[in-house]
Amino acid sequence: MQIYKAPVSDMRFHLEAFGYDEVAAIERFSAYDVETAGVLLEQSGTFMRETLLPLNRLGDEKGLDWDPETGRVTTPDGFKAAYEATVQNGYVSLPGPEEHGGGGAPATLSALVSEMMTACNKSFSMCPGLTFGLIEAIEAHGSQAQKDFYLPKFVSGEWSGTMCLTEPQCGTDLGLIRTKAEPEGDHYRLSGTKIWITFGEHDMTENIVHFVLARLPDAPPGIKGISVFLVPKLVDGQPNNIKCVGLEHKMGIKASPTCVMEMEGAKGFLVGEPHKGMRSMFVMMNRARLFVGLEGVALGEIAYQTALEFAKDRRQSRALDPAKRDANAAADNILVHPDVRRMLMNVKATTEGMRGLGIYASIQLDKSIAHPNEDERQKADDLISLLTPVIKSYFTERGFENVSEALQVCGGSGYTTDWSIEQYLRDVRIGLIYEGTNHIQALDLVGRKLPLHGGRLMQVFAGEVTAAIRAASGDERLEPFMAELKAASKQLNEVTMELAQSAMADAEVAGAVASSYLNLFAMTAMAFSWLRQATHAVRKGGPMAETKLKTARFFFDVVLPEREFFAAQVRAGKAPMMDFDVEEFEVA
Amino acid sequence: MQIYKAPVSDMRFHLEAFGYDEVAAIERFSAYDVETAGVLLEQSGTFMRETLLPLNRLGDEKGLDWDPETGRVTTPDGFKAAYEATVQNGYVSLPGPEEHGGGGAPATLSALVSEMMTACNKSFSMCPGLTFGLIEAIEAHGSQAQKDFYLPKFVSGEWSGTMCLTEPQCGTDLGLIRTKAEPEGDHYRLSGTKIWITFGEHDMTENIVHFVLARLPDAPPGIKGISVFLVPKLVDGQPNNIKCVGLEHKMGIKASPTCVMEMEGAKGFLVGEPHKGMRSMFVMMNRARLFVGLEGVALGEIAYQTALEFAKDRRQSRALDPAKRDANAAADNILVHPDVRRMLMNVKATTEGMRGLGIYASIQLDKSIAHPNEDERQKADDLISLLTPVIKSYFTERGFENVSEALQVCGGSGYTTDWSIEQYLRDVRIGLIYEGTNHIQALDLVGRKLPLHGGRLMQVFAGEVTAAIRAASGDERLEPFMAELKAASKQLNEVTMELAQSAMADAEVAGAVASSYLNLFAMTAMAFSWLRQATHAVRKGGPMAETKLKTARFFFDVVLPEREFFAAQVRAGKAPMMDFDVEEFEVA
């Protein structure tokens, strides 16, 4: 049972609530006003459901074929045709630069299309997602010749791209990279092994271009000696010396090839300056991490819809309130049971809260890149920089919890493959790990984003919170929510001040409490999302308004109180885990 | 990579800390003093690791063969031989009644052996576990002839047993059962379909006896018209009309057959009185639910050990404290990183807390059955009745979180099959669903156990908490923990009083907050477990003492603060989910 209805009305609601009109007012995005966006989302949702969803379970069951002889990887039946249809319908080129044949759509729209694609087929969605990362990197750091040569191929979807970062001895710590690049005329020869290469080899595009981190012979040690190269599978139509020598066997995303790639003197082309490769990496991080966060929204959404469908059909036990009992049946629909509702609301309230916050962040991303006013660009850049690690980490964790909660609604049926939620749970779990583990996000927030520019990013965000509270005033239905956001924000600011002091004195404190601090931050950010939504609901009225207010109430009453727990964890400091000898971890 | 070291020292520590000597002092358990128990646990751990663990991943990968023609199910290679070895080594007969050839071991020991078996091979462990349920039911409600005929076969492991409760239209709500039993001479003919039948068909024993809930022709409707029958696969060596007509395809426990069983006039034998079948069911519930809870301990433990092994091997990034950097390597072992420690401690502190509480509860179970003093039996029965739903629900939920946390320690490697944690995560997830979903446990706690005998169960437990605090006095190292338990217990009592009032006025309130209330209860129960452990550590001294105190501190500082969140959720009442129209759940 695989069902999905694109949540387009909710998406449109957020576009309005979080100020998408400011993005549409930017000249380069003027073709995408909110009406056009709505039509595009509607079409996109239909396409994803009709074309990609039917392949989702099949891809999970059949997985991938890898030929050890040739290194070729074959995707499950139908994937290649689906990729072609996705290209033809313009979903691959949508976010690409117009001068290279792309749709030039804002990141906000692209994020929503990506949410729908991920919901319908997470494995499949990873291929176009990665290619866009290369487009961004080449746009920022490639030569004009590289742009002219590669970008049209990527934008059109004819070629796909990969990120070759990790090696067996290094994941989080890229300074340990060993892959070598030897100069040879106008190019380089690369040798080394890369692991965890998503869509490193497949049969959906005619060529695959690898974005490879490696060291030149004169590279300084560590992170300051990393250069970036483009290593195509085919150079001038001829095979290059890069080969898929194995596939990982994974818990989920089984139709997404995770390759071990071996290079033996593979031809590569330097991007940007020697030894400055990490700069090219950072270009694509905000967007990539934001999009990974949205995977938690996507899979939480489809799991919710599946669980709701199950609940609407299932009758079990009697309503606790006699007035709600169905006299014509021996048992009542399980939607009468408070706990079933609690589980569904847990998923609904957080999924919509995250979608709103994600759209708000995407809007900042678009403004940070394209707003005509420099101050606005800077402010938006501060916000997206601050929110990116929060979104990547909190959304993936909550998404995992949400899919598990939806599975629970279905009981034993949820544990079987029949309802597919178990697949969504396996698929969603990777989000906590890749694109920088969630703890790396927390360190980025605490160690980098908080102190940046003397704490300016946090001040800008606090200003947004204050503005949201001010904008809500004048309607008594919003007052309890305003008070809750104010309290959460006050607590966050206090804990932030305390942490800034203790972390300055002892770096280990920052490491010990960063993950809890990130979750505390997420609570305020989510409350901000819900107050903005509730405010918009009140102002706009209409059929969704009442439901939005009730869902907001659930969030404030049942979800937000977790902030006290996270604050207590931050305040516990480092002693509980650091006053522990290594031997004490051993099993007694 | 599958590794496991039986945590025998920790188990022995708990046996001492939680008063196992009282069980060993009971005459029928006198063969199992703490020393003998220790030896048995040591041997058992070795056996499980050597015999069952090597089959665990293989069972997951290969799964089961089912022949649609004959209905026969074949277990993975090696399972049958492993079952025979398990029988020969006495682990199947260990808890069985001595008069029928069993070891007569207390439930406490049996629980620990079961923990080790589950850790090493969860799929496999379900077969002997179920058989013991039948032993209990027949002992309590079977005729002498039934006892004499069936019990020796079950105790020896020659035959296995199943529970046939669920039907397509009913899981939680057994009143909806439709399977019919028609009298025929001294037996009955049963017809109907049962689903989710664990080990309903397999090749490890020569016969399988099904414990089937069904209706007699004159049965009153609903739950008061359920009778129980024994339906053997073979009667006098001849095939009965019961057949496995399909296997479920599941997320995990893939080597444990989950069968659809069809009966067409199958020969069955009534157990106990007509229409009183639910009584036979309840006999086995405390034990069965306690053991399911311990699955969370078992899989959390093996996942922890695996993650620790990974962490000890992996080097990545530099220690935040320069003094901890290894000058001879380019990166430090990840055990220096505070967040890796936080994740490991999260698992360790809760796993040991749960193991202690589980052993405490098992001791109560043994005393409730066998203590010579009636008052002691009653008191123990009150405690096990109250704690059973808490243990089943909280342990399985926390176990799932713990395995996920251990997976996160391993990063991308944890997501692959190489380290097997992903299998443990899939396997552990079923615990939240079967043997009564976790919400059913919460309703049992709030709706049944709290009001029982005018709240006596809760009073007995509060007495135990007070006694634990009193016993801890006199050592300043214990003072912060005493204060924390006192505060948690006070909060629990207050919330319990409030809930008793609001739930009496409105049954939906109980349903809406029961799950959060159960978690709040678990926080106090876990704090009780940790104060008892810390007290024992201080009194006993020795090499484990310091580590226990540090682990206790982690629990009190980092885990226990979540109680505020659960209390707030209980106090939010029913409005957040019940003031919501059914249509409002639909996707916008």
Report the complex ipTM.
0.97
B530 close to A (CB below 8 A): no
Q: Whole-model pTM?
A: 0.97
**Tokens 């047993």 found at:** B161
Residue A373's CB is within 10 A of a number of other CB atoms, namely 10
Residue from the list A342, A426, A588 with its beta carbon closest to the beta carbon of B10: A588
Q: B243 — alpha (psi -120 to 50), left (phi > 0) or beta?
A: beta
Tell me: pLDDT of A379 over 80.
yes
Considering just the CA atoms, what is the radius of gyration of chain B in Å?
24
Q: Give the model's confidence band at A171: pLDDT under 50 very low, under 70 low, under 90 confident, else very high.
A: confident
Percent of chain B at pLDDT > 90 equals 94
* Helix A338-370 / helix A543-554 crossing angle, nearest 10 deg: 100
Q: What is the pLDDT of residue A278?
A: 87
Q: Give the model's confidence band at B535: pLDDT under 50 very low, under 70 low, under 90 confident, else very high.
A: very high
**How large is the average pLDDT for residues A505-518?**
96
Contact yes or no for B587 and A5 at CB 8 A: yes
Residue from the list A252, A316, A430 with its beta carbon closest to the beta carbon of B172: A316
B36, containing H or E segment: helix B34-47
**How large is the average pLDDT for residues B133-139?**
92
B446, containing H or E segment: none
A321 DSSP assignment: S
B426 close to A (CB below 8 A): yes
Tokens linked to B123: 């799929």
Contact yes or no for B250 and A553 at CB 8 A: no
Full 3-state SS string of A354-381:
HHHHHHHHHHHHHHHHHCCCHHHHHHHH
Residues B406 and B302: their CA atoms lie apart, in Å, by 9
B chain contacts of residue A518, beta-carbon cutoff 8 Å: none
CA–centroid distance for B130 within its chain = 12
B chain contacts of residue A546, beta-carbon cutoff 8 Å: 584
Q: What's the CA angle centered on B413, arms B411 and B417, to 5 degrees?
A: 135
Q: What is the pLDDT of residue B337?
A: 95
B556 DSSP assignment: I
Q: Give the model's confidence band at A440: pLDDT under 50 very low, under 70 low, under 90 confident, else very high.
A: very high
Tokens linked to A532: 């903005």
Q: Give the model's confidence band at A445: pLDDT under 50 very low, under 70 low, under 90 confident, else very high.
A: very high
Residues B386 and B360: their CA atoms lie apart, in Å, by 13
Residues A154 and A126: their CA atoms lie apart, in Å, by 14
Q: Are the CB atoms for B304 and A478 separated by under 8 Å? A: no
Looking at this protein, which amino acid is placed at residue A278?
A: M
Tell me: pLDDT of A284 over 80.
no
CB pairs under 8 A between A and B: 263
Residue of A nearest to B317 (CA): A173
Percent of chain B at pLDDT > 70 equals 100
Question: Exposed (0-12), middle (13-18) or buried (19+): which is B356, by Cβ within 10 Å?
Answer: buried
Active site residue B435: yes
A176 close to B (CB below 8 A): yes
CA–centroid distance for A550 within its chain = 27
Contact yes or no for A576 and B586 at CB 8 A: no
Given B435, B508, B546, B564, the catalytic residue: B435
Tokens linked to A417: 């493959």
Contact yes or no for B564 and A569 at CB 8 A: no
B chain contacts of residue A580, beta-carbon cutoff 8 Å: 341, 345, 547, 550, 554
Contacts with B574 (C-beta within 8 Å, 6 or more apart), sequence order? A338, B506, B508, B509, B511, B512, B513
Q: What is the pLDDT of residue B102?
A: 97
B chain contacts of residue A438, beta-carbon cutoff 8 Å: 408
Chain B segment 45-104 residues within 8 A of A by beta carbon are none
Question: Hey, of A4, A13, A194, A251, which one would you mutate to test binding to chain B, going by the most B CBs within 10 A of its CB?
Answer: A251
Contact yes or no for B588 and A13 at CB 8 A: yes
Tell me: pLDDT of A486 over 90.
yes
Residue from the list A418, A434, A508 with its beta carbon closest to the beta carbon of B320: A508
Residues B501 and B455: their CA atoms lie apart, in Å, by 13
Residue-wise pLDDT tens digits, B1-33 = 799 999 999 999 999 999 999 999 999 999 999
